[in-house]
Structure 1
Amino acid sequence: MDIGNRLKAVRTKAALSQRELAKRSGVTNGFISQIEKNQVSPSVSSLRKVLEGIPMSLASFFTEETEMGAEVVFRAADMPDLGSHPISYRLVGHSRANRAIGMLKEVLPPGADTGDDMLSHDGEECGIVITGCAEVTVGEQVYLLQPGDGYYFDSRTPHRFRNPGQDECVLISANTPATF
């Protein structure tokens, strides 16, 4: 983690100048400047003292998102696969705290099925088939979706997904609240 840029982002978000933060925390504004420029690496006790001027705990400093510190881009290779063989669920935004949306790239090989037991959970979900085909069962209704087709339903209704085709099925889906 880049402590200097992180401190600057937190200080800016708190609408404090370097001078005001230094005054509140009992250090020199030169010390704040050196930290933000990564010219010095503060000890834990020094960083804690600086953060008291915001006020912010060390835990929050290292875990909360700020406008400058929030990850925006998630590379394909870095998205965790939360699926169980053979279905793959690649989660977008896995490191964002308090995600309101679960956004997934789902890959179902031919014959893959979410299981005989229907899924059910609070919220809503939607998606669109990118390649292949998907059989989506919602309640008693069974739908066959082709590339470009989409779905949207209340997730409390029992549901399941299956790939009845000969080719891999790729879906982009979202659910809220985030269940992954």
Structure 2
Amino acid sequence: MHATTDTQLKPELTKLGRRLRALRNERGWTLEELARRTGISEAYLSRLESGDRQPSLAVLLNLAQTYGLTLPLLFEPALEAASQEHKATAGVIIRAKDAATKEGNGLFYTSLAGSLPTANLHPIRVKVPAERKQEQLYQHDGEEWLYVLSGKVVLALADEEYLLHPGDAAHFDASTPHRLLAKGERDAEILLVACATPRSLLKSYL
């Protein structure tokens, strides 16, 4: 990531770090406890809370799952407060103007999830820039389904790579190391739905 991008993102990373620290403190967890629950190192979590590390989408999904929140609620405490007032709401309409786009490890993602506190699905629109070069593979609990909207995407799953065209879809266990790259000179866009491990099942391992 370029220095200019670091500077541009610093205010957002600082805000996110404060939010993550507040969520952890609200639950009375130490960094050690959060590391145990997420499988993320204490050092990495500490840098996230200090605003010194840009999290990947996989890390954000992991944290949202651990805190029992959707991605929008992970970022915005005001949304969390609003969701508590509407617990009985069966569904929420997400207007295009209200869907904020975030950047993480070279991906631009727009969460399309509502503010339901018990939601287990995380629908996300993801733009994969053509210039993105990423060798690291990511993994987390749950499963992912994706659908290519435009451009061409190379999906790496462990040691295999698959070229996906518009209209193609993929469904896989998110604990399998995976990575997304655009193929060619054009950006790609996908619709991704991540499903966290059900909380009742997850708790049996904690």
The answer on whether the counterparts of 2:139 and 2:175 sit within 8 Å (CA) in structure 1 is yes
Shift of 1:92: 1.1
The answer on whether the counterparts of 2:152 and 2:166 sit within 8 Å (CA) in structure 1 is yes
Shift of 1:103: 0.3
Equivalent of 1:161 in 180, 197, 206? 180
Distance 1:129 1:170, change over 3 A: same
Shift of 1:96: 2.3
Distance 1:63 1:86, change over 3 A: same
Shift of 1:129: 0.3
1:115-134 mapped onto 2 (5 Å cutoff)? 115-134=134-153
Name the structure 2 match of 1:109. Answer: 129
- TM-score scaled by length of structure 1: 0.58
The answer on whether the counterparts of 1:111 and 1:164 sit within 8 Å (CA) in structure 2 is no
1:56-95 mapped onto 2 (5 Å cutoff)? 63-67=84-88, 69=89, 72-84=92-104, 86-95=106-115
Q: CA–CA distance in 1 between the matches of 2:164 and 2:131? A: 15
Q: CA–CA distance in 2 between the matches of 1:83 and 1:118? A: 17
Q: CA–CA distance in 2 between the matches of 1:159 and 1:119? A: 5
- Alignment of 1:99 onto 2:119: yes
Shift of 1:61: 8.8
- The structure that has the greater radius of gyration is 1
Q: CA–CA distance in 2 between the matches of 1:139 and 1:164? A: 18
1:135-146 mapped onto 2 (5 Å cutoff)? 135-146=154-165
| Structure richer in helix, relative to its length | 2
Would you say how many aligned residue pairs link Structure 1 and Structure 2?
118
RMSD: 2.5
Name the structure 2 match of 1:56. Answer: none
**Identical pairs, percent:** 25
Distance 1:97 1:147, change over 3 A: same
SS at match of 2:103: coil
SS at match of 2:139: coil
Name the structure 1 match of 2:65. Answer: none
The answer on whether the counterparts of 1:65 and 1:97 sit within 8 Å (CA) in structure 2 is no
Distance 1:64 1:70, change over 3 A: farther
One-letter identity of the residue aligned with 1:119:
Y
Q: Which runs of 5+ in 2 are unaligned?
A: 1-79, 198-206
The answer on whether the counterparts of 2:143 and 2:196 sit within 8 Å (CA) in structure 1 is yes
- TM-score scaled by length of structure 2: 0.51
